[in-house]
């Protein structure tokens, strides 16, 4: 298995020190042993893989899911719990230039539909994922220039797509319960809701098994080969022959499963800390009392929210290695940025901190569809840090296509992602990009008085 990071990043025997794991647990799924046959094989028991398995089961097609670790070990169990708009790193203007206005608008609607799909799944499957309570998402402008750009983008979205984001000037943030000295204003998108990502992914696994899907943990696929009538998947203790196969491993993908994926993905580290519970007085002292999903406008963004149990979750992009020393440095930076953005909580202890991989593609857009030139092989990946909704819906649609449905997906989702120009230099180029944006945007600091 060929991967970009050191083996430590993929060590399924080492669970992250995640807050979510303290809130939900499940018995380990057994590993695949011996030789098996199924209509469909799915690699990856995250949101995409399990959603695809459910769609196949609903169509009467038997599926076997193979997970290198256990459901919830990867990104689906260690993210920030933002079920929101996203899936691409292209701006609306870039999407229009590349795909045209109609396809960009269709992709925007797909994102809305993805959030609604998760909401329906939670209700229809009886999954208690600690949803809400506040709906929508806040984006905070990190500079005066970012606030001006935010206002211009809001006007463009209104004119081009009929989207009416509510702009919140800096002087009104405190009365909205969104007070931080590092913000120059904000916009509010009413689409989306927070949830407990571990409860959600474990709920999907239970729902899939109840529908007849077999889920195997500790079963990394080490070989995938075409053979008569389908595909042969090899794990350390068994084999699976399947007519169709879905690759749903996102940031934890192997460069040679299948070789087509090589150079098309760029896993990037994201780091999260969670504090101890904040008292009501502490929440009021900072002036952040809303339990809404929030992030800032930096390219190397911060994302944060007040959890239902009054703990505060704070995450950031960054880190280019699973090396313990570099991980520790990134966590120190995350803590420093947290204290700069929420100074009243500078003495509040961190309870848990962990890291994981998000997945970029060479096109900066996601993909759900067939692997070109490989009959019966499918892929769903590239959620760009917003996989709760987009991976769930992308996997669901991939499962339906595997079941024989002819679906018309928006071009940004249906177009196979291109390779990065020089795949061998992906991590050095990412380091250079991080350096550039850090230098350009500067450290987190209090907003200047008007």
Question: What is the token pair recorded at 419?
Answer: 């390779």
Question: Among 278, 261, 265, 245, which residue's Cα sits nearest to residue 345?
Answer: 278
Structural domain for 262, as ranges:
17-136+191-441
Instruction: Answer whether 378's CB lies under 8 Å from 397's CB.
Output: no
Is residue 180 assigned to a domain?
no
Report pLDDT digits (tens) over 315-344.
998 788 888 999 999 999 999 999 999 999
Q: CA-based angle 122:126:130, to the nearest 5? A: 60
Tell me which DSSP letter residue 30 carries: P
| pLDDT band for position 352 (cuts 50, 70, 90) | very high
pLDDT at 450 over 80: no
pTM, whole model, 2 decimals?
0.96
Is residue 155 assigned to a domain?
no
Is residue 12 assigned to a domain?
no
Residues contacting 230, CB < 8 A, separation 6+: 241, 242, 243, 244, 245, 376
Q: Report the pLDDT value the prediction gives residue 449, as an integer from 0 to 100.
A: 56
Report pLDDT digits (tens) over 287-322.
999 999 999 999 999 999 999 999 999 999 878 888
Q: Report the pLDDT value the prediction gives residue 1, as an integer from 0 to 100.
A: 78
Q: Report the pLDDT value the prediction gives residue 164, as an integer from 0 to 100.
A: 83
CATH code (residue 410):
3.50.50.60
Considering the chain, what is the average pLDDT of its residues?
95
Q: Report the pLDDT value the prediction gives residue 367, as an integer from 0 to 100.
A: 98
**Strand ranges for 279-421 from DSSP E:** 293-296, 302-306, 312-317, 350-361, 367-370, 377-381
SS3 297: coil
pLDDT at 104 over 80: yes
Beta-carbon count within 10 A of 433 CB: 13
**What mean pLDDT comes out for the span 199-217?**
98
Question: Among 103, 100, 118, which residue's Cα sits nearest to residue 191?
Answer: 118
| pLDDT band for position 38 (cuts 50, 70, 90) | very high
| pLDDT band for position 156 (cuts 50, 70, 90) | confident
Counting residues of the chain whose pLDDT is more than 70, the rounded percentage is 99
Classify burial at 21, counting beta carbons within 10 Å of its beta carbon; exposed 0-12, middle 13-18, buried 19 or more.
Answer: middle
Tell me which DSSP letter residue 358 carries: E
Q: Torsion angle of alpha carbons 76, 69, 10, 330, nearest 10°?
A: 40
pLDDT at 77 over 80: yes
Q: How many domains does the chain have?
A: 1
**What mean pLDDT comes out for the span 135-160?**
92
**What mean pLDDT comes out for the span 178-193?**
96
Instruction: Answer whether 381's CB lies under 8 Å from 359's CB.
Output: yes
Neighbouring-strand partners of residue 34 = 238
Is residue 179 assigned to a domain?
no
| CA dihedral for 359, 364, 369, 375, sign (positive or negative) | negative
Is residue 147 assigned to a domain?
no
Is residue 364 assigned to a domain?
yes
Strand 350-361 vs strand 265-275: parallel, antiparallel, or unpaired?
antiparallel
Separation between Cα atoms, residue 27 and residue 291, nearest integer Å: 31
Q: Report the pLDDT value the prediction gives residue 316, as an integer from 0 to 100.
A: 95
Is residue 178 assigned to a domain?
no
Is residue 326 assigned to a domain?
yes
Residues contacting 133, CB < 8 A, separation 6+: 291, 308
Question: What is the token pair recorded at 35?
Answer: 């030789």
């Amino acid at each position: 298995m060929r991967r970009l990071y050191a083996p430590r990043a993929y060590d399924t025997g080492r669970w992250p020190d995640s807050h979510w794991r303290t809130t939900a647990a499940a018995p380990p799924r057994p590993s695949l042993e011996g030789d098996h046959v199924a209509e469909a094989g799915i690699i990856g028991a995250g949101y995409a893989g399990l959603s695809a398995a459910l769609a196949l089961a609903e169509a009467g097609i038997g599926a076997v899911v193979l997970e290198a670790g256990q459901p919830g070990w990867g990104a689906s169990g260690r993210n920030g719990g933002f079920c929101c708009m996203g899936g691409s790193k292209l701006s609306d203007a870039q999407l229009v230039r590349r795909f045209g206005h109609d396809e960009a608008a269709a992709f925007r609607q797909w994102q809305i539909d993805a959030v609604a799909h998760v909401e329906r799944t939670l209700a229809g499957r009886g999954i208690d994922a600690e949803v809400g309570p506040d709906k929508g998402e806040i984006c905070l402008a990190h500079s005066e220039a970012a606030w001006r750009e935010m206002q211009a983008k809001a006007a463009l979205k209104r004119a081009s797509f009929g989207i009416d984001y509510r702009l919140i000037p800096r002087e009104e943030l405190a009365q909205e319960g969104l007070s931080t000295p590092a913000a120059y204003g904000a916009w509010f998108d009413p689409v989306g809701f927070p949830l407990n990502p571990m409860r959600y992914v474990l709920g999907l696994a239970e729902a899939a098994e109840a529908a007849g899907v077999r889920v195997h943990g500790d079963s990394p696929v080490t070989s995938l080969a075409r053979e008569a009538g389908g595909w042969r998947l090899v794990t350390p203790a068994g084999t699976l022959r399947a007519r169709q196969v879905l690759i749903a491993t996102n940031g934890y993908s192997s460069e040679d499963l299948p070789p087509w994926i090589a150079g098309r993905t760029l896993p990037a580290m994201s780091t999260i800390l969670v504090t101890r519970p904040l008292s009501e007085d502490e929440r009021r002292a900072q002036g952040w009392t809303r339990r809404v999903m929030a992030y800032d406008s930096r390219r190397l963004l911060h994302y944060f929210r007040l959890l239902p149990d009054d703990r505060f979750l704070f995450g950031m992009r960054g880190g280019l290695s699973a090396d313990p020393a570099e991980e520790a440095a990134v966590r120190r930076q995350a803590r420093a940025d947290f204290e700069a953005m929420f100074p009243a909580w500078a003495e509040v202890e961190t309870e848990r901190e962990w890291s994981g991989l998000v997945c970029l593609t060479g096109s900066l857009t996601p993909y759900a569809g067939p692997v070109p030139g490989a009959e019966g092989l499918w892929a769903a990946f590239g959620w760009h840090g917003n996989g709760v909704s987009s991976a769930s819906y992308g996997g669901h649609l991939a499962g339906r296509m595997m079941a024989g449905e002819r679906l018309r997906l928006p071009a940004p989702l249906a177009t196979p992602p291109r390779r990065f120009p020089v795949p061998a230099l992906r991590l050095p180029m990412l380091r250079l990009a991080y350096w550039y944006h850090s230098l350009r945007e500067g450290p987190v600091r209090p907003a200047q008085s008007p």
